[in-house]
Amino acid sequence: MNLLLQVNGAPVQVDVEPGVMLLEVLRDRLGLLGARGACGVGLCGTCTVLLDGEPISSCILLAPLAQSHTITTIEGVPDDDPVVRAFDRHHAFQCGYCIPGMVLTARSLLAECARARRSPSREQIAESLGGNLCRCGCYVKIIDAVQEVGS
Amino acid sequence: MTWMAPRTVAEAVRLKAEWPEATLVAGGTFVGILTRQGLLASDDWISLQDVRELRELSTGSELALGAMVTHRRIELDPGVAAGWPGVRQVFAAVASPRVRNAATIGGVLGDADYASDPPAMLIALDAWVEALSVRGLRRVPVADLIVGHYRTSLEEDELITRVLVPRGRHHVTFRKLRTRSREDRPCVAVAASLHEGRVSVVVGAVAERPQRFPDLCATWDPADGASAGEIAAGYADRIDPIGDNRGSAAYRTGMIAVEVRRALDTLAPAALTAQAAGR
Amino acid sequence: MSDPRIRASMRYPNDLTVPGMWHARLVRSPYAAARVVGIDTSLVPQDVVVLTPSEVEPLGGYGCQISDQHVLAGVARHVGDPVVAVAAADEATAREAAGLVEVGYEELSAVFDERDALRAGAPLVHDTHAVSDGDAAYFGLRPLEGTNVCHRFRIRTAGLPQGEPYTADPEPDDHADGFEAAQVIVDETFRMPAAQHVAMEPHACVAGWRDGRLEVTTGTQTPFNLRQDLARLFGLPDTDVRVVCPPMGGSFGAKTFVRTEAIAAAVARRLDRPVRLALDREEEFVTLTRHAATVRVRLGATRDGRFVAKRVWCWVNTGAYADCGPGVAMKMGYAGVGPYRFDHVAVDSFCVYTNLPPAGAFRGYGAAQSVWASERVTDLMAAELGIDPVELRRRNLLVDGDRFCTGETMHDVHFQELLDDAARAVDWRPGGDNRGKGVAVMLKGMQTPSRAEVDLRRVGDGRFEVLSGTAEMGQGAAQAIARLAADLLGVDADQVEVPPPDTDRVPYDTRTTSSRSTHMMGRALEAAVEDLKNGGGDYGHGRVVNEGGLDVDTGQGIASSHWHQGAAAAAVEVDDETGLLTLRSVHAASYAGRVVDRAAAELQQEGSMTMAIGTTLFEELTFDQGHVVGPNLSDYNIPSALDCAAVSQTLLEVEGAEVHGLGETALPPVPPAIGNALATLGYRPTELPLTPERVLGCAEDAS
């Protein structure tokens, strides 16, 4: 079937089988490699992309369900984004595999906090990032970075 | 392969009847996992993504949640928080915000996963579902919906359209005992609700379906310190739990006794206040 | 520009695609022990290629220390052992085709427990044990023929009987040797289960042949070992194999030695086109694990708290293939002695085959398993003697000039300061109420002997290139090397490029394990810069060796040219009804010597501690007839952001000291610190992980 997707602000058309996941469309068809598959069950968060600004697991989202939503991947986040810069300043990464998912999820949290005019606490940040696993164990610095942007 | 995206509930149930082999897609989480793991290879799909009425949420004499309403929306809705604290609490307890963005109330009930949190609370709150087919609408108490391991009492061609939760259950508690990561699914979950002097305790995540024993609940005397423990021991005695990576059957039996007692102890002050007020 | 890892501006091995490449998928044994008796490919589509064990048998066997593996298994020795490989032009076709291959098996007897494997009548996982002669077999290997022991390591200090015959007795005799002067003896047995590395990026490689040369792009911490093993398998000189290693999405020991590369290379040779082999998460669980181990420790002391003797037994479950298990068993053996003075020390460590998936390198490299046992016993002794656990350690800790049980003289050791720092972090009250608090202190070796070489060249525009075999897996090796080189050259770090290792370009390095790289590469760079300055300024070569090694029959020699030293402390609470253990704080103090990159060093500490929390509280591979139960991240939990609330750390530096590796140091002392804290609350933990169920099970008050 023919899908019309809005990816990082631009419309793209792809022809896919209905049973294909959004992750494969992004990686294999559109060359956007920042979303990764690491667990196959939507738990680890490395496949995170934003759908209308909210994080979802792209590895278990059937691609047709992503139509009529805006999709944001890490490639759509500019280098001078405050969250990206904060991660860089705090060195909130090691291998980097989980970091795009962390950055996207953090941006969504911070946008929600900005709308509510509040700063997230460390516990709230951990809550929001609880579904993004980092085996390298960068949680402390990641929370530091997000807290700094949110304050 | 065919991807069908009906726009109305009527069209959805008609398609379901015409395409009995087609896979119904709500939020897509469960279906996505099964497909990705190679456990489901569907040729035809019926997606509910464009059925607007299934995304409606209304608060009145009852809370009406369309089947496609996400966990995240339930968690954040001020009307739900004000009138149905138990519903808010249990949906907020599921996994992570990212998972809650996609998971729907219709999906979690339809999947009947034994470790899911919402069913236990919805049963404790006396909620029911509306199930629609070409043959008409049925109302099914959530207590009668989940009948076994990933099995519901729905007919093949039925679709959950709404979940309805009666008003007035403000004294609720939801306990989720996680034995490993704080992101883990529960080893034992207990939902308890107080309404008009009655307590309803439901234990989830320990067996194929949520476990409730109204006769035991009816014996509760919040003023008697031993009563909660006796009821809890009764639950532990009657339930034959599963064992898995979160705990053995024997451990679960022990924890049912602890968690049910703690749930009742949490509600005891409110129950005593209500008794004193003569309600 | 921000670091490329933040916005995915770099490529991992898993991302690599090559024009014309095909995709391989594996058919794996569903039995823990079985002979392949037939392979039926009649349902497999014509355009899918199938590779079977008989086709690769002529290549022979391989194994970094014991040569016990084959490219595909004609005799499967664990559930998940790859038996057949299929390849197709696209992954979906390959995946489907793998499911259509029908393999006939004749089931054989299997054994799963490391001590059961030593009992009379236990089936032999391998009939013979052939020692490898590759670089990774850098110490004397001692398999016990006719048993499941592929290596045994022994320490006997000078005053003890020497040269006793070897028996791998799972219930060793109660020798009194060395304990005559002990007035109090504690003897306890401990267990740490198998675990999985769960690097976020699964294993993936692309292999291709070009003009008779094999080129492999893969994630590996051991490029030169891999090159050597592949060369020998395919009958090539080392220089006809090229290993390129892009930065990995984590490894922690999982991506070491031959994993997917030999199969991919064999399929690529058959197809005469490049082949990609990438594993699913489920497959990761049967590819490499952390050694389960049973460790028994007997400690003897005088009543006034002086350690007299220590006896350690380690039964190390290496699974179906030895991999680097012999080395792990050796390191587990001496780490289990601990940083203390003794009159007499005897250690016997056995690397034992079972029909579980193979175990290999895992952060901590054996130290975690034996330090768990050893430091718990230290506290058990403290309780017996009625001496404060911190004070008891103080009385016995090694200081500069003391001899370790291997006979080597300790230098640059700071166990006292590290222990004091850890104790302070939990507000330890000397001789007072320290309920809910625990400490631990440990030492871990760095690969000795080893060799590091590096090339340094000027590339114009004031820029330099460092050619180093150190692999990047998130630890920040490339940036540390760049910084070290820049400091030595007197330039900015961004004027130094450190490309990923390519064995066609970089000089030899032993491997990126054992937290050796910053130290060894740093020293090699000093030599290279010196060479560059002496030679005209355009090119320099540095070569550094750390000498040493142990006699595996006596355990005497130099175990480590310098020591990784760490202490930890924990404060915990327990819900006595559910057994749920809550960490109020966890602190690790590690000796850094000299910190090169502070943020990277802190991250290594925090990462090690996070992994240790998983090890201590919930990580455990369980098996059912050799099948991993729940090989997925829902059933196997790793720590999330919500699990490591109160983690803190100290990096101890000393003016003028050598750089000490930090990649693993903060992992081994954390589990016993937590276990010791739990023990003050009426529990006697011996087995990890400390799940609520296990906590209740070790309650001292049995009611």
C170 — pLDDT class (breaks 50, 70, 90): confident
Q: Is the pLDDT of residue C98 over 60?
A: yes
Interface test with C, best of B34, B94, B181 (most C CBs within 10 A): B181
Nearest Cβ partner of C693 from B248, B258, B259? Answer: B248
Domain with CATH 1.10.150.120 in chain A: 82-150
pLDDT of residue C231: 98
Greatest Cα-to-Cα distance within chain B, rounded to the nearest angstrom: 64
pLDDT tens for residues C386-418? 999 999 999 999 999 999 999 999 999 999 999
Looking at beta carbons, which residues of chain B come within 8 Å of A19? 1, 35, 41-42, 45
pLDDT (tens digit, 9 = 90+) per residue, C579-608? 999 999 999 999 999 999 999 999 999 999
Q: How confident is the model at residue B37 (pLDDT cuts 50, 70, 90)?
A: confident
Question: Taking Cα atoms as reference points, which of C132, C92, C125 lies closest to residue C225?
Answer: C132
**Separation of first and last alpha carbons in chain A:** 46
Q: Which tens digits make up the pLDDT trace of B223-275?
A: 998 999 999 999 999 999 999 999 999 999 999 999 999 999 999 999 999 88
In percent, the amount of chain B with pLDDT more than 70 equals 100
Domains of chain B by start residue, with CATH: 2-166 (3.30.465.10), 171-276 (3.30.390.50)
Q: Give me the helix-helix angle, A139-150 and C598-617, nearest 10°.
A: 120
- Return the SS3 of B10: helix
Task: Give the pLDDT confidence of C448-460 residue by residue, as tens digits.
Answer: 999 999 999 999 8
CA distance to partner chain C, nearest, from residue A132 (Å): 7
Judged on CB neighbours under 10 Å (0-12, 13-18, 19+), B52 is: exposed
Residue C173, pLDDT score: 77
Shortest CA gap B185–chain C (Å): 8
pLDDT for the residue numbered B41:
87
The mean pLDDT of chain B is 95
CB contact (8 A) between residue B32 and residue A59: yes
**Cα-Cα-Cα-Cα dihedral sign, residues C24, C290, C168, C407:** positive
Structure tokens at C218: 């893969």
Probe site for chain B from C637, C690, C694 (most B CB atoms < 10 A): C637
Would you report the helix, strand and coil content of chain C in percent, each value rounded to 5? 25, 30, 45
Specify the domain boundaries for CATH 3.10.20.30 within chain A.
2-75
| Per-residue pLDDT band at B159 (split at 50, 70, 90) | very high
Exposure string of C341-363, with b = 16+ CB inside 10 Å and e = fewer, is: bbbbbbbbbbbbbbbbbbbbbbb
Are the beta carbons of C440 and C375 closer than 8 angstroms? yes
The rounded distance, in Å, linking the Cα atoms of A82 and C681 is: 46
**pLDDT at residue B245, as a whole number:** 92
> What does the pLDDT average to over A138-143?
98
pLDDT at C18 over 70: yes
Q: Looking only at Cα atoms, what is the longest distance across chain C?
A: 79
- The residues that bridge with C454 in the sheet, in sequence order, are C468, C542
Task: Give dist(CA C212, CA A130) in Å, integer.
Answer: 49
Local structure of residue A88 (DSSP, 8 states): H
Note the pLDDT of residue C645: 72
Per residue in C432-448, pLDDT tens? Answer: 999 999 999 999 999 99
| Residue C384 CA to its chain's centroid (Å) | 34
Residue C703 has pLDDT above 60, yes or no: no
CB contact at 8 A, C1 and A79: yes
Per-residue tokens: C266: 């064999």
Q: What is the pLDDT of residues B182-235, one digit of tens each?
A: 999 999 999 999 999 899 999 999 999 999 999 999 999 999 989 999 999 999
Q: Which residue has the tokens 């022979």?
A: C60
Residue B132: closest CA among B257, B266, B250, B14: B14
Secondary structure of chain A: what % helix, strand, coil (to 5)?
Answer: 40, 15, 40
- Both tokens of C135, joined, read 């670089």
Residues of chain B with C-beta less than 8 angstroms from the C-beta of C639: 181
Mind listing the pLDDT tens digit for each residue in B106-126?
999 999 999 999 999 999 999
Residue indicated by tokens 């291997």: C406
* Alpha carbon distance C703, C696 (integer Å): 10
Query: Domain A82-150, what architecture?
Result: Orthogonal Bundle (1.10)
C322 and C372 in contact (C-beta within 8 Å)? Answer: no
The pLDDT of residue C537:
87
Residue of A nearest to C5 (CA): A96
Report how far residue C126's alpha carbon sits from residue C63's, in angstroms, rounded to the nearest whole number.
13
C96-111: burial string, b at 16+ Cβ within 10 Å, e else: bbbebbebebeebebb
- What is the structure's pLDDT at B279? 55
Shortest distance between the Cα of B64 and any Cα of chain C, in A, equals: 32
Residue B61, Cβ neighbours under 10 Å: how many? 9
Nearest one of A55, A56, A26, A57 to A40, comparing CA atoms: A57
0.95 cut: is pTM over it? yes
Please measure the distance between the N-terminal and C-terminal CA atoms of chain C and give it in whole angstroms: 62
Q: Which residue of B has its CA nearest to A60?
A: B32
Q: Evaluate if residue C166 carries a pLDDT over 90.
A: no
Question: C603 vs A91: CB contact, 8 Å cut-off?
Answer: yes
Helices (H) and strands (E) in chain C, counts: 14, 29
Give the H or E element holding residue A143: helix A139-150
Strand C463-468 and strand A2-7: the pairing is unpaired
CA distance B194 to B201: 9
CATH for the stretch A2-75? 3.10.20.30
Residue C667 pLDDT > 60:
yes
The pLDDT assigned to A81 comes to: 98
Q: Which residues of C touch A145 (CB under 8 A)?
A: none
Q: Kindly state whether C630 is in contact with chain B, defined as any CB-CB distance less than 8 angstroms.
A: yes
User: Among partner residues B245, B254, B259, which is closest to C629 by beta-carbon distance?
Assistant: B245
pLDDT of residue C431: 86
Q: Is the pLDDT of residue B175 over 70?
A: yes
Average pLDDT, chain C: 96
Among B187, B245, B248, beta carbon nearest to C635: B245
C663, closest residue in chain A (CA to CA):
A136
Q: Is it the case that residue C174 has pLDDT exceeding 70? A: no
- CA B62 centroid distance within chain: 17
Average pLDDT over residues C664-677: 98
Q: In which band, very low, low, confident or very high, does the pLDDT at C169 lie, cut at 50, 70 and 90?
A: confident
